[in-house]
Amino acid sequence: MSITTIEGALRADNARFCLVVARWNSFVVESLEKGAIDALLRHGASESDLTIVRVPGAFEMPVAIERLATQGGYDAIIALGAVIRGGTPHFDYVAGECVKGMAQVSLKHGLPVAFGVLTVDTIEQAIERAGTKAGNKGAEAAMSALEMVNLLRQID
């Protein structure tokens, strides 16, 4: 008897992706967006397979993602943004509701929603995660989306 293993490949074979990109903290988010696009293109996506939807901030992402998922046409959605902790509880509310909303959409629609939203304490941490010391979390989210699209295709 052998164990069956199912895993998704890192290929963009005939897959369409929507990047939902927050405008807040754009100095960081632009790097996440570039990293995600580069990763998708390097793994076989074409520019015509990609759509970018811009939202004001992370809190607004779930409603946009819900609408996109309802309309269909995408194999995965990649959320990109940055929530940086300040001196008030605002960070906790925004980050928590953003994650919760995206997870609900993903489960409701059976659609991969890759989480490329930085939730960090400092601007320095955000910059590190957008392409310097800690890699590019936008590219990592894109790779996660690629893998999940192919994994779900294998399961189906």
Fold of 21-153: Rossmann fold (3.40.50)
Check residue 134 and give its pLDDT: 62
Residues annotated as binding site for 5-amino-6-(D-ribitylamino)uracil?
24, 58-60, 82-84, 115
Across 119-132, b (16+ Cβ under 10 Å) vs e yields bbeeeebbbbbbbe
DSSP helix/strand/coil, 75: coil
pLDDT tens, residue by residue, 91-139: 788 888 899 999 999 999 999 999 999 999 999 999 999 986 668 999 9
Calculate mean pLDDT across residues 11-16.
94
Residue pair 47/41 in contact (Cβ under 8 Å)? The answer is yes
The DSSP 8-state label assigned to residue 133 in this structure reads T
Active site residues: 90
Mean pLDDT of 5-23: 95
pLDDT of residue 135: 85
User: Using CB atoms within 10 A of its CB, is residue 67 exposed (0-12), middle (13-18) or buried (19+)?
Assistant: exposed
Q: What is the pLDDT of residue 10?
A: 94
Share of the chain above pLDDT 90, in %: 86
The predicted pLDDT at position 1 comes to: 79
| Domain boundaries of the chain, sorted by first residue | 21-153
Q: What is the mean pLDDT of the chain?
A: 94
**What integer is the mean pLDDT of 71-78?**
98
